[in-house]
Structure 1
Amino acid sequence: MNVLQVNSSARVFENDQGSVSTRLANELSAGLLAAHPDATLAVRDLARQPHPVLDEAALGALFTPAESRTPEQAARVALDDALIAEIQAADVVVLGVPMYNFGITAQLKNWIDAIARARVTFQYTENGPVGLLTGKTVYVVLSRGGLHRGTDRDSQVPYLKAALGFLGMTDLRFIFAEGLSMGPEAEARALATARAEMERALQGASEEAIA
């Protein structure tokens, strides 16, 4: 089993400090590895290694035939190719997703833009679009300063269901850490709740492996 962890916070996590979403994603990946000793883990940390935005130059490179690209265009496309190869190889994906201003981070949007490529990770047919990144389980660890789960303020869950589902990743399992900025007690409850949800998710993963 190949596990891909994607940290989408703008903050690094180091010496037990920094991004909460990355901390929890680390814990979930560790649990998956413990439950599956034969599993491998690849980590894409978008804080340490930011991916470039999809701008006019990038679009020009992507729409230029490979044999006609300049060295600069080829290098730009290669950056996206690396992310696509990682997601194609993954059986399980762990996404660390903080909420910034009611949405996903720019880092995560850049990653999604990079892996969404026509005729590679999705294709249009006479019956509509078909996602090509199928057969994957995606754990989404969401960290929020306030309480947004199930409200109109939560644009993250609908967006991720739509964007990842479009690419064929429909088995999404959301884990919530909410209220992190509402005081020490609320933060402790948020982390405890998230870890309990992760434990249930890991138990479910172990049962699926046995079945």
Structure 2
Amino acid sequence: MTKTILHIDASARRDGSATRDLSDRIVKHLGAARIIRRDLASPLPLLTEDWINANFTPADQRDETQRDQLALSDTLVNELQEADTIVVGLPIYNFSVPAAFKAWIDLVARVGLTFSYTENGPKGLLEGKRAVLAIASGGTAVGSEVDFATNYAKHVLGFIGIHEVDVVAADQMALDAETTLAKAQKAVLELAA
């Protein structure tokens, strides 16, 4: 059993979402002593100039306003650091990730906390964690040349050090939702716990 799962839902749909259903199934299948929930249907703020200035001010030199600017980001980073496994319900919107997921990425990809710069380039600081992406689409085939969501999500996770990434896909649901959902639900049961 996994100790801690960070369960992220990126779908704007709270009801009838294939990715929410799949990510719930994955979390139940994997089992965890503790589950941290992050629902991105409640939007995260976009980066601002004040946030960027606060982020690039050394931690020991930040004033109270700058610490407040980074408080949510610090919480999101802590959730990632505490998790052994990250499960993301990730729909493909217009060939890519939802804006809410991109906002989350911008808030957690922080030098010195989730990655560092080295002589050999960036190095992720969240090594030893696993991620499972529950991806759904209406018409985009996962892994196709027009799927800009799956490889991007895997790349960003790798950038912060999470290289073990499984994908459960319910893609091209507009063509045959019943068959693709059944295939995805079977794939959930085949995930190593």
Q: Give the alignment's TM-score, normalised by structure 1.
A: 0.85
- Correspondence for 2:109: 116
- Measure the CA separation in 2 of the matches of 1:18 and 1:65: 44
Match of 1:8 among 1, 4, 10: 10
Secondary structure, in 3 states, of the residue corresponding to 2:35?
strand
For residues 129-208 of structure 1, the aligned pairs below 5 Å read 129-182=122-175, 186-201=176-191, 204-205=192-193
Is 1:127 the counterpart of 2:117? The answer is no
- Measure the CA separation in 1 of the matches of 2:129 and 2:6: 11
- Per-residue CA deviation, residues 52-90 of structure 1 (Å, 9 max, x unaligned), is 11122221221234444343x322200000000000000
Unaligned runs of 5+ in 1: 206-211
- Measure the CA separation in 1 of the matches of 2:17 and 2:48: 27
For residues 28-39 of structure 1, the aligned pairs below 5 Å read 28-33=26-31, 39=33
Measured after TM superposition, the shift of residue 120 of structure 1 is 1.1
- Correspondence for 1:80: 73
> How many residue pairs were aligned?
190
Secondary structure, in 3 states, of the residue corresponding to 2:167?
strand
Match of 1:27 among 19, 25, 28: 25
Match of 1:40 among 34, 56, 64: 34
Contact 2:95 2:140 in 1 (8 A): no
- Measure the CA separation in 1 of the matches of 2:156 and 2:143: 19
Superposed CA RMSD in Å reads 1.5
- Measure the CA separation in 2 of the matches of 1:167 and 1:30: 25
Secondary structure, in 3 states, of the residue corresponding to 2:117?
strand
- Measure the CA separation in 1 of the matches of 2:29 and 2:120: 40
For residues 31-110 of structure 1, the aligned pairs below 5 Å read 31-33=29-31, 39-47=33-41, 49-66=42-59, 67-71=61-65, 73-110=66-103
- Per-residue CA deviation, residues 19-73 of structure 1 (Å, 9 max, x unaligned), is 221121111111112xx5xx211110011x32111122221221234444343x3
Unaligned runs of 5+ in 2: none
Measured after TM superposition, the shift of residue 147 of structure 1 is 4.0
- Measure the CA separation in 1 of the matches of 2:23 and 2:10: 10
Aligned residues with identical type, % of pairs: 38
- Measure the CA separation in 1 of the matches of 2:151 and 2:47: 22
- Measure the CA separation in 2 of the matches of 1:65 and 1:195: 46
- Measure the CA separation in 1 of the matches of 2:67 and 2:119: 31
Secondary structure, in 3 states, of the residue corresponding to 2:165?
strand
Q: Give the alignment's TM-score, normalised by structure 2.
A: 0.92
